Amino acid sequence: MAKREIGVGLIGFGTIGTGVVRVLREHAQSIGERLGAPLKIVRIADLDIKTDRGVKIPKGMLTADARGLINDPAVDIVVELIGGLEPARSFQLEALRAGKPVVTANKAVLSAHGIELATAAEEAGVVLGFEASVGGGIPVIRALKESVAGDRNLEVYGIVNGTCNYILTEMAAGRGEFAEVVGRAQKLGLAEADPSYDVDGLDSLHKLVVLTALAFGKVIDPKAVHVEGIRSVSGVDMAYARDFGYTIKLLAVARDTANGVEARVHPAMVPNSHLLAKVAGAFNGVCLRGRALGTSVYYGQGAGMMPTATAVVADLIEAARSVLAGQAPLVLPYGQPAASLDKARVVPMADIEHEHYIRFQLSDKPGALAKITTILASVGISIATVAQHEKPSKGAVPVVMRTHRTQEKALAKALARIAKLAEVRARPVVIRVEETLGQDH
């Protein structure tokens, strides 16, 4: 093993980039011992080369020229942390084609172009590392790629967006409704100025696509996946959930079924007995169910400067080992040749069965409930429980129901008819109840 220095070039000097600089510096000695050579940042590219990030950077290390960084001979490994599709994709491809390993946290580009990028890495015989793209510092990518490589995975699901989980945790604790809590999360740096990517479920979707490829060896079209964010979750539904023994979480769920991959992102009521119900604040929890292994759970900080930087540095170490040994990595980016991943059908949401929580606002007149239950019965929906706890306010009574397992399309049909009733005073709120997570069904 040549005792030289491994040079890292960083594209994108935001929060995670700053964390990577800090981890590499603070743990330089132990990392050097592991590798037998120092691992050092030699170049950082960012459009903003003025702002102080709180870490000292030698003059001349910063550049606005990412392409120059990629082609700098001192750069052995390229870290892409700018996010988004372009120019991230082009930067990664250029680096890989130049024979340089790439490490990234960019789930958006992986979800859209993961196969193209992995293929380029395989052709170049270099590492494409993306542990940081899902679950921050939780090593769920490596677990899927290597640790369960001999199993057949049936299900991968969990809480993969720390921002949403923070917001829902605050709301569940009665510390405000959505808009108010988002404002607080923004002040704490837990939500972006424009929080849409997180709260509308897109971040979770991109992570789900990455997990699905690793867990099942199947590529799904993100556009075919049902995605609902958390904007419509309200304190009143959280209170009902609590009464029923559930916690509302934003879940990303993928199941490998005979009819295709069931993949979906939406708020759901999770039984309080499930470990995911205990995942609070900005933490993440990912559950994996395999035929041989059964259920395993990975829990930790799913975001934040230092946790995510840990994942980037783990990939850097893997890449550096390969560079130092002058060997191609033995494990491919997806744990199997990118060409061997199958394009899979996504099961339409309309065909999926759930128990449902439904909250109606009905006018306080006799017969309203009868009309609704009649319509539900006419499409074959069976009701498990009905609750009408509160006193009417402004002439409207909240009525909460829980259905037995019902196909989404039957429910949609019934709700379209119910919407036309004069007695219905607001759009009904529907939240799926996850009673079969981690079970054959």
The residues binding its own copies (CB under 8 A) are 19, 22-24, 26-27, 30-31, 33-34, 36, 131, 137-139, 142-143, 146-152, 217, 275, 278, 290-301, 306-307, 309-311, 313-314, 316-318, 321-322, 325, 327-331, 335-337, 340
> Least Å distance between CB 141 and its own copies?
9
Q: Which of 207, 249, 343, 371 is catalytic?
A: 207
Q: Do 362 and 423 touch, CB atoms closer than 8 A?
A: yes
Cβ 410 to its own copies, closest distance in Å? 35
Q: Which is nearer to its own copies, 24 or 167 (CB)?
A: 24
- Output 202 or 344, the one with its CB closest to its own copies: 344
Nearer to its own copies, 111 or 301 (CB): 301
Nearest approach, Cβ of 326 to its own copies (angstroms)?
A: 10
Nearer to its own copies, 16 or 75 (CB): 16
Supply the minimum distance, in Å, between the C-beta of residue 284 and its own copies. 10
Note if 207 is an active site residue: yes
- What count of Cα atoms within 13 Å lies in the side-chain half-sphere of residue 103? 26
CB nearer its own copies, residue 208 or residue 341: 341
Residue 19: CB partners within 8 Å, gap ≥ 6? 304, 305, 306, 308, 309, 312
Question: Is 110 in contact with 210 (CB distance < 8 Å)?
Answer: yes
Instruction: Read off the amino acid at residue 70.
Output: I
Of the pair 152, 389, the CB lying nearest its own copies is at: 152
CB-side exposure of 16: number of CA atoms within 13 Å? 26
Q: Which is nearer to its own copies, 224 or 293 (CB)?
A: 293
Closest of 113, 74, 78 to residue 94, by C-alpha = 78
Give me the least distance between CB of 122 and its own copies, in Å please: 12
**Shortest Cβ distance from residue 327 to its own copies (Å)?**
5
Contact 431, 267 (CB under 8 A): yes
Q: What minimum distance in Å lies between the beta carbon of 278 and its own copies?
A: 6
Residues labelled as active-site residues: 207
